Chain A
Amino acid sequence: MAYHHSRRTIGLTLNGRPVTATIDVHDTLVDVLQRDFALFGARESCGQGLCGCCTVIVNGTAVSGCLYLAAFADGAEVDTIEGLAGKDGLHPVQEAFVAHGGFQCGFCTPGFVLMTKELLEQTPKPTDDQIRHYLSGNLCRCASYPEIIKAVKAAAGS
């Protein structure tokens, strides 16, 4: 069987900076972030878009980076966990996760932080139920769920 690589170059705005990458058409966004930009905050775990460890923000919307083809990010604004903290320090959501211990092993944490940021942009004062439902697409095998709720509420200032 012939094994044919089809390669192309894409341009995107990555954490606010314009960049280019030469990719295989079958590369996922996580593949490219890790291989070409040494960004490991979005990581593949379940490989099926179910756990949320690979969460990346594309044009303002969270996607599963392990399923999202890098080719589709051509021309897009791509934001990862590494771009969240500003020069002045951690983003308030990150601060809240640290203060309330909203993690254990940390492998799923970037996904939870990014989804929480998205939640709070849409719903600044979420109820427990709204938090649970919005974050139900992210899984934490260590099950730090009660602490994550505390962190989200703290980040919302409620």
Chain B
Amino acid sequence: MSVGQSVRRLEGRSKVTGTAEYIHHLRLPGMLHGKIHRSTVAHGRIVRLDTSAALAHPGVQAVVTIDEVLAVAPNPYYGPAFHDQPILAHGKVRYVGEPVAVVLASDPHAAEEAADLVQVEYDPIDPVFDEVAAARPGAPIIHDVLKPAGMFTDLKHLGGRSGTNVALDARVRRGDAAKAFADADHVFEHTFRTGKVIHATFEPMVSVAELQGGDGVTIHTASQSPSFVRAEVSRLLGWAENRVRVRTAHLGGGFGAKLYIKLEALVAVCALLVRRPVRIALSMDEQFYTITKHGATVRIKTGVQSDGRMIAREVETYWNGGAYADIGPRVTQKSGFTAAGPYDIEHVSLDNYAVYTNEPPAGALRGFGISQLVWAYERQADVIARTLGIDPIEFRRRNVLRKGRPHATGTIVSNLEIDAVLDLLEQRMEWRRPFDRGTGTIRRGRGVALGLKACISPTTSVAMVLLYGDGSCALQCGTVDMGQASDTAMAQIVSEVLGIPTASVRLAAPDTNVTPYDMATLGSRSTFHMGNAVKAAAEDVRAQLLRIAAESLDANVSDLECVDAEVVSTRGARMTLREIMLARFAMQAGTIVGVGSYTPAYKKPDLSTGQSPEITPFWMLGGAGAEIAVDTETGRIEVTRLVNVADVGRAINPASVDLQLTGAAIMQLGFTLFEEMVFSDGQVVNASLADYKIPGFLDVPADISAAYVEVPHEHGPYGAKGVGETGVFSPSPAIANALYDALGIVPIDLPLTPERVLRAIREQGGSPLEEA
């Protein structure tokens, strides 16, 4: 029917005609625009905050500081893992760019001018920016006391801890790594680092709040997590959740930036204070001061036998979480436990530290920490392989985790096709054909990498499918379509169950007054979790339709099926959906409601060992292969071929799967070759698309392709797994391994800019370049 087909996107017409709805476009009568005055120091106490000049500026209606905020939100600290981030700076600032005050005016230009007139005097405190330095004893302390949110029981023990910047330490212990290193034929030890990059969503973050019904508030927001926003804003205001309505529309990109609370608490408080609708829309540069990907320092040590079998691995990772935890502690733990990679290693010791620093907060960015770890373990893999004289693909094949074997967390691996992905990668890369490594100043190399992710757990999705009086169908689910084509995939599932055309399924935009709870659109979880909920909701409707039809047609339910928008019996009798509604309600009216929900099985890991018999609902596996040409005189890398392969369970919509894999790979290509936030004393100095380059048409490799293995996951809807992040796991190390293949260069941090590569080439040749 519909599942497994490259069905056209439901919203395609609206997107190509410029009429698709984005919250960015929302204007409400009487609406005020808010502009944020931001901290100019990385760490300091606020000694004086003077808003009088801003307030006196023509057109300004109000200036809001923490003093005003406290009147409606007495405990103004929010966050998904820690309640550590104040709605506006509260006595102290912890990074350059932290919101200190908001100016509200009818004219956004007036608000912007006045925001510059807010006067703040700071008493500076020593800042700390490096994640390893910040974790050391004696580092300047950024938060006086740790305040876990309470939603996660494994963070409870951190409550009240003080005198540290380590928000969370999470560990995995399996076997006896120390002893195994002593037994190993070879031990390899490296430190790999990645810097900070950002999502740069093209619809910058935007939220609009308005009062509703005297005692409620509606927040229109470009958010990936409407349910979380409702719960968190309710908590901040001390209200029941049903007084807060959160709705969204199409998102102009998300990639993890638009999760949890960003502007929502601030606009809600502002609207409550001035009793008018308030809109705050960030500019592109302000996004650089809002949320980033984690920089990370990964120290990785691996013990290997001469036959190429890895027997021990110890990984210590410091995650640069910036000034506020956001979801960093989850990145630290949920990705950290995969640091041994897609490999069967008997003795494993993993330590992960979520560290506060005086940089902008870090959170989720497509991959949730995985690409930082893959960067480390897959680069080391090629060093090991070359040292032992083993082909890189063969080396991986000797070590991969096979079904029925325990992962480092103790979970027995199932529904994971590593061998098949590796075979596909080898085939697509034409690995066994001779490869020309170039001569003179243009050298060529090729490399591969494999990355493993565990989908975050436990989470819940709930969906409703409605059949209206005329037989038309609506789907109410809170999955946010930010470009990944989730609306279409969910409609395909309804289509498959009810036997109606995909295009006839109408989706409600996520709205907490309309769509039931969904944890959030993140971590490639939606196709699996919401897909299962949607399938169950549609099956609920189908069961009702069949019961009604069975009665009307005097047939057995087991003899009926839904086909071509009708219920058809094996004896040839048939009823249209319209006729069924008439039969059920005695008039062409009424609603049939189907409900479905999904929460996968999960067992919390042991706090001291990280062991769990059920750590994740599904494993995601992404492989990449790259061929590059590097100019040894300029250090410039050209990626001539990029192959991305994945285990997707089953593709609900093959065209969308291709788009996700390739799009993710190109995004990661930017993070690999040139994207990098540059800081000076905590100040981002390249906060614009002019200075922070993202991939354009001319950066896309001439030969880029995606391929995938389809072996249905036993619990996935029609066997599907999530795929939105898979393409980011492996391109970076695949490209770096190609550079290693071409020139033998190992220790370079991301991104692989011409300058970094040239410095490494010159250093290797014994004639290092002078520092600039």
Contacts of B655 in A (CB 8 A): 101
Number of interface residues of A (CB under 8 A): 52
Asked if B158 is at the interface of the complex by the 8 Å CB criterion, the answer is no
CA distance A45 to B14 in the complex (A): 19
B109 part of interface (Cβ distance < 8 Å): yes
**How far, in Å, is A54 (CB) from chain B's closest CB?**
11
**Which residue of B has the minimal Cβ distance to A85?**
B17
B639 within 8 A of A: no
Once the chains bind, are A136 and B18 in contact (CB under 8 Å)?
Answer: no
Contact, CB under 8 Å: B11 / A132? no
- In the complex, the answer to whether B689 meets A109 with C-beta atoms within 8 Å is no
Contacts of B665 in A (CB 8 A): 143
* Given the contacts A3-B59, A133-B698, A141-B253, A94 and B8 also touching, CB distance less than 8 Å: no
A113: interface (CB < 8 Å): yes
| Stretch of B41-49, B200-208, B390-398 lying at the A interface | B200-208
Beyond the given A45-B204, A133-B697, A141-B694, please list 15 additional residue pairs across the A-B interface where CB-CB is below 8 A.
A2-B58, A42-B18, A47-B284, A51-B689, A85-B17, A90-B13, A90-B17, A101-B8, A101-B485, A101-B659, A103-B9, A103-B12, A109-B16, A131-B697, A145-B666
Contact B694 A106 (CB under 8 A): no
Residue A58 CB within 8 A of the other chain: no
Chain B contacts for A42, CB-based, 8 A:
18
Once the chains bind, are A43 and B19 in contact (CB under 8 Å)?
no
B18's partner among A104, A110, A145, A146 (CB-CB below 8 A) is A110
B459 proximal to A (CB < 8 A): no
Query: Would you call B17 and A82 a contact (CB within 8 A)?
Result: yes
Kindly state the separation between the CA atoms of A2 and B56 in the bound complex, as whole angstroms. Answer: 11
Instruction: Pick the residue among B203, B285, B659 that contacts A104 (CB under 8 A).
Output: B659
Assess the B8–A99 pair: CB atoms within 8 A.
Answer: yes
Q: Cβ of A46: which chain B residues have Cβ within 8 Å of it?
A: 202, 284, 688-690
What are the residues of chain B within 8 A of A131 when measuring CB–CB?
697
Cβ-based interface call for A74 (8 A): no
Query: B residues near A, CB below 8 A?
Result: 8-9, 11-20, 22, 24-25, 27, 57-59, 109-110, 113, 199-204, 250-255, 283-285, 482-485, 655-656, 659, 662-667, 688-690, 694-698, 700, 704
Q: Does B19 lie within 8 Å of A141, measured CB to CB? A: no
B689's partner among A50, A108, A110, A113 (CB-CB below 8 A) is: A50
Q: Which one of B16, B110, B283, B696 has the highest number of Cβ atoms from chain A below 10 Å of its Cβ?
A: B16
Q: Does A107 contact B (CB under 8 A)?
A: yes
A146: which B residues are within 8 A, CB to CB?
662, 700, 704
- A82 CA to B250 CA in the complex, in Å? 18
Decide yes or no: A53 and B202 within 8 Å by CB, A101-B655, A141-B253, A145-B700 being known contacts.
Answer: yes
**How far, in whole Å, are A145 and B253 apart by their CA atoms in the complex?**
15
User: Is A34 positioned at the interface, with any CB of B under 8 Å from its CB?
Assistant: yes
Give the complex CA separation of A84 and B15 in angstroms.
13
A-B pairs, top 4 by smallest CB distance, nearest first, are A41-B18, A105-B483, A107-B252, A104-B483
A39 to B109 alpha-carbon distance, docked (Å): 20
Please name the residue on chain B nearest to A108 by beta carbon: B202
Q: In the complex, A98 Cα to B200 Cα: how many Å? A: 25
* Residues of B close to A144: CB separation below 8 A: 659, 663
B667 touches A105 (CB 8 A): no
Q: In the complex, A39→B17 CA distance in Å?
A: 11
Residue of B8, B14, B15, B25 with most partner-chain A CB within 10 A: B15
State whether the Cβ of A57 lies closer than 8 Å to any Cβ in chain B: no
Q: What B residues does A39 contact at CB under 8 A?
A: 18
| Known contacts A45-B202, A82-B19, A143-B667; A98 and B689 CB within 8 A of each other | no
A149 to chain B, nearest CB (A): 8
Residue pair A139, B252 in contact (C-beta under 8 Å): no
Are A139 and B663 in touch, CB under 8 angstroms?
no
Bound complex: CA A40 to CA B656 (Å): 26
B585, chain A: closest CB distance, angstroms: 37
Q: Which residues of A contact B698 (CB under 8 A)?
A: 132-133, 136
Q: Are B12 and A139 in contact (CB under 8 A)?
A: no
Check B12–A97 contact: CB distance below 8 A: yes
- A3 contacts B16, CB within 8 Å? no
**What 1/0 mask marks residues of chain A from 2 to 35 whose CB sits below 8 Å from any chain B CB?**
1100000000000000000000001000000011
State the Cβ distance, B526 to closest chain A Cβ, in Å. Answer: 15
26 residue pairs bridging A and B, Cβ less than 8 Å apart: A1-B57, A43-B22, A45-B204, A46-B284, A46-B688, A46-B689, A48-B688, A48-B689, A97-B12, A98-B8, A98-B9, A101-B655, A101-B656, A101-B659, A103-B9, A103-B16, A105-B203, A107-B22, A108-B202, A110-B17, A132-B697, A133-B697, A136-B698, A145-B695, A145-B697, A146-B700
**Contact of A142 (CB < 8 Å), options: B13, B17, B663, B688:** B663
Contacts of A109 in B (CB 8 A): 15-16, 18
Closest to B17 in A: A85
Check A143 against B695 for contact (C-beta < 8 Å). yes
| Cβ-closest chain B residue relative to A128 | B702
Question: In whole angstroms, what is the CA distance A107 to B655 when docked?
Answer: 20
Instruction: Return the chain A residue nearest B12 by Cβ.
Output: A98
Chain B residues whose CB sits within 8 angstroms of the CB of A132 once the complex forms:
697-698, 700
Inside 8 A of A145's CB, which chain B residues have their CB?
666, 695, 697, 700
Given the complex, which residues of A lie within 8 Å of B704, measured CB to CB? 146
C-alpha gap A145/B27 in the complex (Å) = 32
Q: Which residue of B lies closest to A80 (CB)?
A: B18
Q: Are B484 and A104 in contact (CB under 8 A)?
A: yes
Q: Is the CB of A141 within 8 A of B12?
A: no
CB–CB A48/B659 < 8 A: no
Report A99 CB to chain B, min CB distance, Å: 7
In the assembled complex, the Cα of A32 lies from the Cα of B442 at a distance in Å of 51
Chain B nearest Cβ from A147, distance in angstroms? 6
Query: Which single residue of chain B is at the shortest CB-CB distance from A145?
Result: B700
In Å, the complex CA distance between A107 and B201 comes to 9
- Cβ of A53 to closest chain B Cβ, rounded Å: 6
A47 in contact with B17 (CB, 8 Å): no
What is the chain B residue whose CB lies nearest that of A5? B107
Which residues of A45-100 are within 8 A (CB) of B? 45-48, 50-51, 53, 80-82, 84-85, 90, 94, 97-99
Residue of A whose beta carbon sits closest to that of B481: A105
B176 to chain A, nearest CB (A): 45
Cβ contacts under 8 Å, B485 to chain A: 101, 104
- Report whether B16 and A107 are in contact in the complex, using a CB–CB cutoff of 8 Å: no
Contacts of B251 on A, CB cut-off 8 Å?
105
- A51–B693 alpha-carbon span in the complex (Å): 11
Chain A residues near B16: list those with CB within 8 A: 81, 90, 94, 97-98, 103, 106, 109-110, 113
Instruction: Collect the chain A residues with CB atoms within 8 Å of residue B254's CB.
Output: 105
Could you tell me if B57 and A139 are in contact, using CB atoms closer than 8 angstroms?
no
Instruction: Report chain B residues within 8 Å CB of A104.
Output: 253, 483-485, 659, 663
CB of A156 closer than 8 Å to a CB of B: no
* CB-based contact B689/A139 at 8 Å: yes
